Structure 1
Amino acid sequence: MAGLSATRRKARPQDEVLLDRELEDLPPELRWREWMLRVEAVIFAAAEPVTRETLTRVVGRNCSIELLIDDLREELRDRPYDIVAVAGGWQHRSRSAYTSAIRASQAPTRSVTASLSETEAAVLAAIAYLQPVTRGELSNMFGKEVSRDTIASLRDAGFLGSGPRSPTPGAPYTYVTTKHFLSAFGLETLRDLPDLERLEDAGLLSRQALGEGATAESESDSAEE
């Protein structure tokens, strides 16, 4: 066992240098090309958006990830897919022009939005715009109780996480959206959400209603997780 442990300890430093990130032996043009291919391969193989931190593990210290992505996207201009910024990273996504063809090739499935009930979609939208927000605040905004089951369903779907405790009496939990929410709805950041004022004008959300009811917290909220 001791010999095996020693072998593993010796192998670890070698594992860290197996990939030549700097490629200093290559001419600049070939070095850049190899970095591009590495970045594309990593993004292509990933099921979730790939972060900058992940991509920097496969390229040199002075390599600009943004410029690499720009060059890759330029090469993909005539392809039916692109590399897009989403949920704090980059991901291969099919172009919208080919959505119908892709859907026609697949067995019928429910989309992300179709899988949500009307109530769940409304609650998720409110949380996305007003986060961090408590269940009590949501209930006051909608004029009826937002059930724990609704929150649990959105959490189980990966759209919600726990935010900081509210400074209101009882210190209830708040809720925030997740990176999975951004990825599922094709958003890079929350700044990409549709303009809130337009939704307010349409009567779909009301920050004023939320502010008026923010102090009416139920004691039961403080026990939520």
Structure 2
Amino acid sequence: MAGSKTARAARAGRTKAADDVLFDRELEDLPADLRWREWLLRIEAVIFASSEPVTRETLARVVGRNCSLDLLIDDLRDELAGRPYELVSVAGGWQYRTRSRYADTIRASSAQTRSATAALSESEAMVLMAVGYFQPVTRGELSKIFGREISRDTIGALRGAGFIASGPRSPTPGAPYTYVTTKHFLSAFGLETLRDLPDVEALEDAGLLSRNERAEEDAPD
């Protein structure tokens, strides 16, 4: 068994090495301007083909070792200046997104879009928002925040959609599972990191969240 795993790993290593030889990243036979243009088209193709934000490490596999990805991204954004879509930084990578000024146009067309957020009910969206702000958070803590029981079905729906995942066990009695948001959550809502979430105080003022209620209920007598 161990021998077969070693053999498979060796074959995979040889295949990757062969791919590295066949795929010319450096493009040293091209003039500098054409080389830059080809690198630009390569990263555009990779980002366009991907269903998730593309990381820096992924893009680095298709351009030269001394190529500046940041400058390539800047040039690509300049080329898209007059287009109805743009290149944005989300979830630790880059992804194409339709410009917000065309949101009404897309809704009016009733076209099927790639966004997963429309599938959420209002209740699920509220629970997801609470997980985003209070993570890692247990189902019991979510129930206290909303003043009603948050069902396992709601948690299951958010997990099934890829928005949340299990976090560390809570140190409270029974060590229940906590829940945290995923990279898909960041991507779906156009966030680069959790620091880009709207200010929690503004949501509290609007009555959408109440961390004070949670703190009071969790406080010892």
TM-score, normalised on structure 1? 0.83
Q: Distance in 2 between matches of 1:10 and 1:140?
A: 55
1:189 to 164, 186, 193: 193
- How far the C-alpha of 1:115 sits from its partner, in A, is 2.8
Greater share of helix residues, 1 or 2? 2
Q: 1:122 corresponds to which residue? A: 126
Q: State the shift of 1:161 in Å.
A: 0.4
Deviation at residue 106 of structure 1 after TM alignment: 3.8
| SS of match in other structure, 2:154 | helix
Contact 1:141 1:213 in 2 (8 A): no
**One-letter code aligned to 1:200:** E
Is 1:151 the counterpart of 2:155 in the alignment? yes
Give 1:24 shift.
2.6
Any residues of structure 2 matched to 1:52-201 within 5 Å, and which? 52-107=56-111, 112-201=116-205
Corresponding pairs, count? 212
* Equivalent residue, structure 1, for 2:3: none
Amino acid at match of 1:97: R
Distance 2:50 2:138 in 1: 34
CA 1:68–1:7: 2 relative to 1, 3 Å: closer
Answering whether residue 210 of structure 2 is matched by residue 206 of structure 1, we say yes
- 1:9 is displaced (CA, Å) by 7.9
Q: Secondary structure at the match of 1:182?
A: helix
* Partner SS for 1:41: helix
The one-letter code matched in structure 2 to 1:208 is: N
Q: CA RMSD in A?
A: 2.6
| Aligned position for 2:4 | none
Deviation per CA, 1:165-211, whole angstroms, max 9, x where unpaired? 11222211110111111121122221111111111122211222222
Q: What does residue 20 of structure 2 align with?
A: 16
2:53 to 35, 38, 49: 49
**Over residues 61-104 of structure 1, what are the superposed CA-to-partner deviations in whole Å (9 max), with x where a residue is unaligned?**
22222221111000110111111111221111122222333334
Alpha carbons of structure 1 residues 94 and 16: separation in structure 2 relative to 1, 3 Å? same
SS at match of 1:163: strand
Q: Does the CA contact (< 8 Å) of 2:115 and 2:188 recur in 1? A: no
List gaps (5 residues or longer) in structure 2.
Answer: 1-7
Aligned-residue offset at 1:7:
9.4
In the alignment, is the contact (CA less than 8 A) between 1:137 and 1:213 conserved in 2?
no
Tell me the amino acid that sits aligned with residue 149 of structure 2. Answer: E
For 2:25, the aligned partner's letter is R
- Alpha-carbon distance between aligned partners in 2 of 1:75 and 1:154, rounded to the nearest angstrom: 37
Cα distance change, pair 53–215 in 1 and its aligned pair in 2 (3 A): farther
Compared with structure 1, are the counterparts of its residues 51 and 10 closer, same or farther at alpha carbon in structure 2 (3 Å cutoff)? closer
Q: Secondary structure at the match of 1:78?
A: coil
From 34, 43, 61, the equivalent of 2:38 is: 34
C-alpha distance in structure 2 between counterparts of 1:43 and 1:110, whole Å: 15
Task: Tell me: CA distance 1:110–1:78, structure 2 relative to 1, closer, same or farther (3 Å).
Answer: closer
